[in-house]
Amino acid sequence: MLLRTGLLGYGIAGRVFHAPLIAATPGMELSAVVTTDPARRAQAQAAFPDVPLPHTAEELFALDLDLVVIATPNRTHVPLALSAIEAGLPVVVDKPFAPTSADARRVLQAARYRDVPVTVFQNRRWDSDFRTIRSLVADGALGAVTRFESRFERWVPDVWDNWRELGAPEEAGGLLYDLGAHLVDQAMELFGPVATVYAELDRRRPGVEVDDDVFVALTHMNGVRSHLWASAAAPHHGPRFRVLGSAGAYVSDGLDRQEDALAAGKPFDDLSTSGRLVLPGATEEIVGLPGAYSEFYRLLVAALRDGGPVPVEPESAVWALEVIEAAFTSARTGQVVSL
């Protein structure tokens, strides 16, 4: 039996990631899409001509569904998730889970009360280069890791006309919430809880209302230091990853290719990125493990059918939000924040 899935939102998240991944996952069916934007409704109709397009979330929740995916602006994540839970519908929330960790805990409390599964779309846990690093670290190929460096750097000199660029706190806009949600999640996935946070947040482009140039330094409880960068004002890009250990290092450049393939409507499975394994006296070019965004929904199907774990435990998204909040505090005060 197919899991009948309703999708809320058809912007970049809904159109590029969720809709094609849902449609491509065995055991799932894209059953309805909600978007109020006329151009996006036309796009959804063209891509999925047989899929109904209800106008409101209330209309969507009234349908016979097994799952709801929330891919709407950040300010709507919490109210829509609470409505889905109240309707008894399992829910996927795109990152960031919520504008604050307190909001996220409120959603989890409601989900536990109603016994409704909730998960968060942290797709970049399945990036090719990140999967490769996870494997190298687990195998001890780098020895004891001392420093983890991770970057999402772009050159976007003009401010977008987009909610992500809006400065009101409830919008949860800016790069720390956007790309930072991935950077912090990946660091914590590899090296666990964070003891201290230091951050520098800047507004570099003319007219920008939110942080568009970000540096965050984490000290994990195990002693590993993570240095994380995100920028929309970087005409030159550093390495995507640089991982330093007692026995060697791993370095990779460029971004995982799955997003571009999904956006272009091309096959997105089995795409790999290359990197360099640097050992004493030798540097080896290695092809990374293939990217696997589809694994998120494959695991979700198994969880909802068989009662297994959801692909991303929502508590991990709450912990990442606590780190992001500490980063905002650190940037405002100039102090290192302890968690």
Mean pLDDT, all residues of the chain: 96
Strands across the sheet containing 91-94: 28-34, 3-8, 67-70, 91-94, 118-121
State which amino acid sits at residue 166: L
Domain contains 312? no
pLDDT in tens, 269-293: 889 999 999 999 999 999 999 999 9
Mean pLDDT over 24-49 rounds to 96
Least confident of 130-144, 167-181, 223-237: 167-181
On whether both 45 and 160 belong to a single domain, the answer is no
DSSP labels, 196-235: EEEEEEE--STT--S--EEEEEEEETTS-EEEEEEESB-S
Q: Which domain holds residue 12?
A: 3-121
Mean pLDDT over 45-57 rounds to 96
The last residue of a domain, from among 95, 121, 147: 121
Would you give the distance in Å from CA 116 to the centre of its chain? 21
- Report the CATH number at residue 16: 3.40.50.720
Mean pLDDT over 312-337 rounds to 98
Domain contains 274? yes
pLDDT band at 169 (very low <50, low <70, confident <90, very high): confident
Please state the φ and ψ torsions of residue 176, each to the nearest 5 degrees: -65, -40
**More reliable by pLDDT, 164 or 117:** 117
Strand stretches in 84-144, DSSP E: 91-94, 118-121
Domain contains 265? yes
Rounded Cα distance between 281 and 283, Å, is 7
The last residue of a domain, from among 66, 86, 121: 121
On whether both 10 and 48 belong to a single domain, the answer is yes
On whether both 34 and 168 belong to a single domain, the answer is no
CB 70, CB 81: distance < 8 Å: yes
pLDDT in tens, 222-267: 999 999 999 999 999 999 999 999 999 999 999 999 999 999 999 8
On whether both 114 and 128 belong to a single domain, the answer is no
List all residues 6 or more positions away from 313 whose beta carbon is below 8 Å from its beta carbon.
119
Domain count, the chain: 2
- The counts of H helices and E strands in the chain are 10, 14
Domain contains 14? yes
Would you give the distance in Å from CA 115 to the centre of its chain? 24
Rounded Cα distance between 71 and 120, Å, is 11
pTM of the model: 0.95
Domain contains 308? no
pLDDT band at 160 (very low <50, low <70, confident <90, very high): confident
Least confident of 57-66, 104-113, 157-166: 157-166
CB 82, CB 53: distance < 8 Å: no
Domain contains 305? no
Domain contains 314? no
The last residue of a domain, from among 121, 148, 175: 121
Rounded Cα distance between 66 and 191, Å, is 35
Would you give the distance in Å from CA 35 to the centre of its chain? 21
